[in-house]
C-alpha cells in the first residue's frame, strides 16, 4: 500500500470541535491527540484517529485508538457514525 502525502500540519485544540477540510479524492486521514497520549489518566479518551476512504470503511466510520486508565494500554474501536 502506498500513500501520497497531500498535506500535513498541526493545530492546538481549544476544546471545541474543529472542522478539517480534506481534499476530494483523499483516501487516508490521521490525527493524534498528543496531550492525552502523554497522560496516564486518560480512560476512554482518544489518542489517535484514522479514517480510510471507501471501500475500506462504511461511510462516516473510522478507527479510534483509546487509552486505558493508568496502564498506557491502547485499545482500538471502530467508530460507526460521525
Domain definitions of the chain by residue range:
28-79
C-alpha separations of 11 from 71, 73, 76 in Å: 27, 25, 23
The pLDDT assigned to 75 comes to 86
Cis status, amide bond into 58, omega within 30 of 0: no
pLDDT along the chain (82 residues), means of 10: 70 80 80 82 79 76 83 83 70
Output the CA angle 8-60-48, nearest 5 degrees: 45
Q: How many CB atoms within 10 Å of residue 42?
A: 19
Amino acid at each position: 500500500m502506498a500513500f501520497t502525502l497531500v498535506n500535513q500540519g498541526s493545530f492546538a485544540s481549544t476544546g471545541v470541535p474543529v472542522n478539517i477540510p480534506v481534499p476530494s479524492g483523499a483516501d487516508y486521514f490521521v490525527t493524534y491527540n498528543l496531550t492525552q497520549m502523554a497522560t496516564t489518566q486518560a480512560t476512554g479518551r482518544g489518542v489517535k484517529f484514522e479514517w480510510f476512504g471507501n471501500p475500506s470503511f462504511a461511510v462516516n466510520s473510522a478507527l479510534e485508538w483509546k487509552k486505558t486508565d493508568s496502564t498506557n494500554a491502547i485499545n482500538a474501536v471502530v467508530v460507526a457514525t460521525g
